[in-house]
Amino acid sequence: MNRVPPAAEPVAGKPSRREQILAAAAELFARHGFHGVGIDDIGSAVGISGPALYRHFRSKDAMLGEMLTSISEVLLDGGQARVDAASGPEKTLGDLVRFHVDFALDNPALITVQERNLGNLTDPDRRKVRALQRRYVETWVEVIRAAVPAAGEPTARAAAHAVFGLINSTPHSRHLDRDQMADLLTGMAMAALVQLSDRVH
Amino acid sequence: MNRVPPAAEPVAGKPSRREQILAAAAELFARHGFHGVGIDDIGSAVGISGPALYRHFRSKDAMLGEMLTSISEVLLDGGQARVDAASGPEKTLGDLVRFHVDFALDNPALITVQERNLGNLTDPDRRKVRALQRRYVETWVEVIRAAVPAAGEPTARAAAHAVFGLINSTPHSRHLDRDQMADLLTGMAMAALVQLSDRVH
DNA sequence: CAGGCACGTTAGCGGGCGCTAACTTGCCGA
DNA sequence: TCGGCAAGTTAGCGCCCGCTAACGTGCCTG
């Protein structure tokens, strides 16, 4: 008795068909856009063909939904964890930046999909993802305002989005190796943020 | 004699059906993605219906092609103009940043389409657009290296892409008014760039 | 060892989409 | 005045795509 749950994640680290499919789909969605990828494309990317995917997902929309929801959760949880391990305003901001940089560098396809394909979600999925994203942004806004007290809230919010754009640009340029890229992006992001204190408002 | 050319731009400032269509299509492509927008959607956005568009464009692909080519040309020409009016390395970099910021703030839909839909171009169109983009990036790389001699070429290239990401994030956040946003983005971009001199390599 | 279930296959449906065809209308210049 | 052309209409073709149906197969368990 007590078998492994049929539709949940496996007990150990095995990639599990579902995750394998999601990874392949993410790559394809990132390259061609949601509507530019067919069911058969995703299937053959994991060695099975078309309709077999429906043994694992209810619909193509559900794949995108699960993909974006899980990204948003990972980001929010990781961000919260950095804040909870607080060690001083500026240090916390640095941790947050570094966390996002690492995630973007290690998951370029997911980052790209999240940036480009939010509009292709079903309404309920989009609501859920947007709620998670808003909480993540909120975390950033608070940390920025703690580290740069001169910044007003709208400024902090706009700055957070700008920094996301800076960091998330990484899938489009691969001229440095991973660690150099991480240092470069972190440095640029931090410089862009700390100078906020020099500006009026 | 000497009538206005039938398929070229009009003599004076009139928006000309073609440009009107391109603007509407850009908005739709930005919101739903190229494949998420139908011919009929574009048509009804300008008050005509579906197939009438083929009086103005050879195909849906041609609309996207013309859209992206013209953006790339505007950016390249504008960038070159700033460099030609050179007034010292750091000042030139500032002009370039400001130029791109202004363009992004005034054409959010175009920026979004260029970022997301390069992969939906036909092969010849994509080649042309990529060539133009590469020359634009090249302009940035040279200006960055002139203003920040410590930066190596791969670093300058990666930094240019990162700054594009930062500036192009503007369609996703509208919490400040236009001019405040322009100042914020310019300040963040410049701070991110000048600190390159602090890093080894 | 028999039954069930997870997982895969191929065939085919229904609908949407890009594009063409055929036709209409109003303006403009000789 | 009237022919021609730019610019729009509707009808419809052909294709592709998401998804379902019906069926096969091997493993795991009671």
Q: What pLDDT, on a 0 to 100 scale, did the predictor assign at position A10?
A: 38
- The answer to the question of residue B182 being in a domain is yes
- The answer to the question of residue B177 being in a domain is yes
Residue A123 to chain B, least CA–CA distance (Å) = 14
- The answer to the question of residue B113 being in a domain is yes
**Structure confidence by residue, pLDDT tens digits, B52-109:** 999 999 999 999 999 999 999 999 999 999 999 988 999 999 999 999 999 999 999 9
| Residue B14 pLDDT grade (very low, low, confident, very high; cuts 50, 70, 90) | low
Residue of A nearest to B176 (CA): A154
| Residue B188 pLDDT grade (very low, low, confident, very high; cuts 50, 70, 90) | very high
- The answer to the question of residue A101 being in a domain is yes
Give mean pLDDT, residues B15-30. Answer: 94
* A34 inside 8 A of chain B by CB: yes
Residue of B nearest to A163 (CA): B166
Report the domain count for chain A: 1
Query: Which residues between 100 and 139 in chain B have a beta carbon less than 8 angstroms from any beta carbon of chain A?
Result: 115-117, 119-120
Residue B115 to chain A, least CA–CA distance (Å) = 9
| Residue B15 pLDDT grade (very low, low, confident, very high; cuts 50, 70, 90) | low
Three-class SS state of B85: coil
Contacts of A201 in chain B (CB under 8 A): 180
Q: What pLDDT, on a 0 to 100 scale, did the predictor assign at position B201?
A: 58
Q: What pLDDT, on a 0 to 100 scale, did the predictor assign at position A173?
A: 87
Residue B136's region, left for phi above 0, alpha for psi from -120 to 50, else beta, is alpha
- The answer to the question of residue A133 being in a domain is yes
Domain assignment of residue A101, given as a range: 60-197
Q: Do A188 and B172 touch (CB under 8 A)?
A: no
- The answer to the question of residue B169 being in a domain is yes
Q: What pLDDT, on a 0 to 100 scale, did the predictor assign at position A55?
A: 96
Give mean pLDDT, residues A39-58. Answer: 95
First to last CA, chain B: 63
Three-class SS state of B127: helix
Q: Is the pLDDT of residue B10 over 70?
A: no
Cβ contact A145:A197 at 8 Å: no
- The answer to the question of residue A122 being in a domain is yes
> How far is B92 from B143, CA to CA, in rounded Å?
7
Cβ contact A32:B119 at 8 Å: yes
Q: Do A162 and B166 touch (CB under 8 A)?
A: yes
> How far is B7 from B59, CA to CA, in rounded Å?
15
Give mean pLDDT, residues B13-24. Answer: 84
**Structure confidence by residue, pLDDT tens digits, A69-108:** 999 999 999 999 999 998 899 999 999 999 999 999 999 9
State the nearest residue by CA to the C1' of C11: A51
| Residue A3 pLDDT grade (very low, low, confident, very high; cuts 50, 70, 90) | very low
| Of A91, A173, A183, the residue nearest B196 (C-alpha) | A183
Residue B16 to chain A, least CA–CA distance (Å) = 30
Q: Do B184 and A162 touch (CB under 8 A)?
A: yes
Q: Is the pLDDT of residue A14 over 80?
A: no
What is the nearest nucleotide to B41, using C1' and CA?
C17
**Closest residue to A164, CB basis, from B117, B158, B169:** B169
> How far is A93 from A86, CA to CA, in rounded Å?
9
> Does strand C come within 7 Å of the CB of A74?
no
Measured in angstroms, what separates residue B38's CA from nucleotide C16's C1'?
A: 10
Q: What pLDDT, on a 0 to 100 scale, did the predictor assign at position A201?
A: 59
- The DSSP H or E segment spanning B182 is helix B178-194
Q: Do A165 and B165 touch (CB under 8 A)?
A: yes
Query: Which residues between 134 and 193 in chain B have a beta carbon less than 8 angstroms from any beta carbon of chain A?
Result: 154-155, 157-159, 161-170, 172-173, 175-176, 180-181, 183-185, 187-189, 191-193
CATH classification of the domain holding B143:
1.10.357.10
The pTM of the full predicted model, rounded to 2 decimals, is 0.92
Percent of all residues in chain B with a pLDDT value above 70, rounded to a whole number: 92
Cβ contact B173:A161 at 8 Å: yes
- The answer to the question of residue A100 being in a domain is yes
| Residue B199 pLDDT grade (very low, low, confident, very high; cuts 50, 70, 90) | confident
Angle at A159 (CA atoms; ends A155, A162), nearest 5 degrees: 145
**Closest residue to A116, CB basis, from B116, B161, B196:** B116
Measured in angstroms, what separates residue A28's CA from nucleotide D27's C1'?
A: 32
**Structure confidence by residue, pLDDT tens digits, A98-139:** 999 999 999 999 999 999 999 999 999 999 999 999 999 999
Residue A64 to chain B, least CA–CA distance (Å) = 15
Q: What pLDDT, on a 0 to 100 scale, did the predictor assign at position A103?
A: 98
**Structure confidence by residue, pLDDT tens digits, A142-183:** 999 999 999 999 999 999 999 999 999 999 888 899 999 999
